[in-house]
Amino acid sequence: MAKIALMTGTVYGSALEVASQLQQRLVGLGHQAQLFYPAKLNEVRQFDADHWLIVTSTTGQGDIPDDLLPFFLQVNNEFPLLTGKSWGIVALGDSSYGDTFCGAGRQWRELLLQLNGNEIAEMLCIDATETLLPEQPSLAWLHQHYQHLTL
């Protein structure tokens, strides 16, 4: 069992819906999982999670949604090391945006890679041109990588 903090960013609500379903499923798998929305670093720190799960859509041109950007900037400024902890990312995007496909997820990945934690699995990048139900690939990915997570 792990203590998992989920942080999400959305424009139209899909990523929030995905994060909420993942949180429920993680609890069902026996983890202690809490969704922080909108995420604030002091609250996430207080929770003292073993694992951070970022669920973000992309807006603008590869940009992080407004409701997740303050948290991203806080993490970037305060650099809370995740040594001994792990993290994962579910990114929602649309491949018709070309080079900026899943850009918010990729920005998060670049930042988290610098915080010393362990990346639990390859970032899941969900293409809106391929699936209308992002919950489905997200839950499949979760089952594959989080069933036996201890930290």
Smallest gap, in angstroms, from Cβ of residue 66 to ligand FMN?
10
Measured from the CB atom, is 61 or 118 closer to ligand FMN? 61
Residue nearest to ligand FMN according to CB distances in the complex: 93
Looking at the Cβ atoms of 103 and 117, the one nearer to ligand FMN is 103
How far separated are the first and last CA of the chain, in Å rounded?
A: 8
Question: Nearer to ligand FMN by C-beta: 86 or 138?
Answer: 138
Range 31-40 burial, b when 16+ CB lie within 10 A, else e: bebbbbbbbe
CA distance 144 to 135: 14
Distance CA 22, CA 30 (A): 12
Contacts for 143 with CB less than 8 Å, ≥ 6 apart: 25
Q: Considering beta carbons, is residue 94 or 135 the nearer one to ligand FMN?
A: 94
The residues binding ligand FMN (CB under 6 A) are 10-15, 57-62, 92-94, 97, 100-103, 128
Pick the closer one to ligand FMN by CB: 74 or 100: 100
**Least Å distance between CB 17 and ligand FMN?**
8
Q: Give the shortest CB-18-to-ligand FMN separation in angstroms.
A: 8
Q: What angle do CA 42, 31, 72 make, to 5 degrees?
A: 30
What is the closest distance, in whole angstroms, from the C-beta atom of residue 113 to ligand FMN in the complex? 20
Please report which residue ranges of 13-149 form alpha helices under DSSP H.
14-28, 41-47, 69-78, 103-112, 135-146
Rounded to a whole number of angstroms, the minimum distance from the CB of residue 52 to ligand FMN is 18
- Say if residues 80 and 48 touch (Cβ distance below 8 Å): no
